[in-house]
Amino acid sequence: MCTGADSEPNGQANAVAPNGDHAGFVGIETRQNPHPSASRNPYGHDAGVTDFLSNVSRFKIIESTLREGEQFANAFFDTAKKIEIAKALDDFGVDYIELTSPCASEQSRADCEAICKLGLKAKILTHIRCHMDDARIAVETGVDGVDVVIGTSSYLREHSHGKDMTYIKNAAIEVIEFVKSKGIEIRFSSEDSFRSDLVDLLSIYSAVDKVGVNRVGIADTVYELVRVLRGVVGCDIETHFHNDTGCAIANAFCALEAGATHIDTSVLGIGERNGITPLGGLMARMMVADRDYVKGKYKLEKLKEIEDLVAEAVEVNIPFNNYITGFCAFTHKAGIHAKAILNNPSTYEIINPADFGMTRYVHFASRLTGWNAIKSRAQQLKLEMTDAQYKECTAKIKAMADIRPIAVDDADSIIRAYHRNLKSGENKPLLDLTAEEQAAFAAKEKELLEAQAAGLVV
């Protein structure tokens, strides 16, 4: 169990933190974190440079964990779990929550009706085929909107539904007019948009735009197609990106720059195959682009709670390098990193963990540690020494870490024992070691001191 600093007003120090127990690491108190504002952020959105079509600072999220996410291999959400996830997403602040088609099964229909009755702030959508039978069932559930989809590429027309473009256009117009007559939102989306014939694609989007569709959606596409479509339709543009090649977040951001207005996400990115744009990953990217917009709209401190909820439900572990909430997301180990982080966290962190209710850590129980990290830890322990003494103590920790892995308790013990020896003038052992370990430690310490004297290590 790691021992850390008491919580500070800026939320930057706390060992028992939302991102879990970090053995060998410690939450550290740092200076304030002056992350750049959008106006001077080299990674952000600059209206003077980017295209006037950009919606980077006014996007909306269509959260699809309860639709696309239900297609994840491990996913099985009963009604209670769906309601719990829907409430959590609503509390986070997503604009829309998309549900599995009520035509998929009787339970799916009942779940859709139950969530519609919760009175959430987010609009509730359901995702259906471009077919009148599906549309009639969907509008009876009480949803705020219907998302209609049909494959438009030659691949899907041949190998999926077998319909030509004339049929697709006529069916789309019929469904759109019916749903609109019920006073609810309607989105029309092509599937496999990028591999669809561009003339066919623009023709059908133009037709549905003219009959008053609220949004058109395009799936697995890239910047240029969004940009072209923006010049053809006046309605909103929704984008849906799968992560098969690891580009979902990048594609989502580029789509917003090109004029898209809505991004489909799921918690942890779960979905068909490798899933889609992850909610947390998108928040990380957009936070860098326009921190004020994102912080003002979404309860970012709720992200870890939502991800834990979904991870448990689908029986997966949150990856160690997950955006924002991963075990290592705000963890620093190398001495050069630790020194800079202690002085100014924005030197190595583009995102302030405190914005998400998270904590940064420094791993100081390591051969890679630097004396600045040891100094910071000693000061947390209320042990004052000179810089020369901190450096000598660091050398002892490095020497011990060279012979075996050490935990934070070991490093703390060395710091305390070294400090006691300074005060007492004694030279008592720093740790309880076997004779073999004591000999190895002495040898390593000698090697290290000789290397430092020769300027080979610092």
Residues tagged active-site: 337
Q: Which of 298, 286, 212 is nearest to 256 (CA)?
A: 286
Cα distance between residue 209 and residue 286, in whole Å: 28
As a whole number of angstroms, the distance between CA 90 and CA 85 comes to 9
Query: 354: which DSSP letter?
Result: G
CA distance linking residue 64 with residue 271, whole number of Å: 9
Name which of 68, 114, 51 is nearest 276 in CA terms: 68
Tokens read off for 195? 């591999």
Please state, in angstroms and as integers, the Cα–Cα distance from residue 273 to each residue in 74, 75, 315, following that order: 11, 12, 16
- Asked if residue 180 lies in contact with residue 134, where contact means CB atoms within 8 angstroms, the answer is no
Question: What would the two tokens of residue 445 be?
Answer: 């310490």
11: left (phi over 0), alpha (psi -120 to 50) or beta: left
Q: Which two tokens stand for residue 130?
A: 């471009």
Residue 59 structure tokens: 């996007």
DSSP three-state, residue 165 = helix
Positive or negative torsion for Cα 409, 413, 416, 419: negative
Tokens standing for 19? 């991102």
Q: How many CA atoms lie within 13 A of 439 on its CB side?
A: 3
Query: By C-alpha distance, which of 178, 177, 179, 173 is closest to 144?
Result: 179
- The secondary structure of 192-242 as a DSSP string is SGGGS-HHHHHHHHHHHHHTT-SEEEEES--HHHHHHHHTT--SEEEEE-B
What contacts 24+ positions apart, CB below 8 Å, involve 292-299? Answer: 292/37, 292/38, 293/57, 293/58, 295/355, 297/93, 298/92, 298/93, 298/94, 299/91, 299/92, 299/93
Sorted by sequence, the CB contacts under 8 Å of residue 265 that are 6+ apart come out as 61, 62, 63, 64, 65, 94, 276, 277, 278, 279, 282
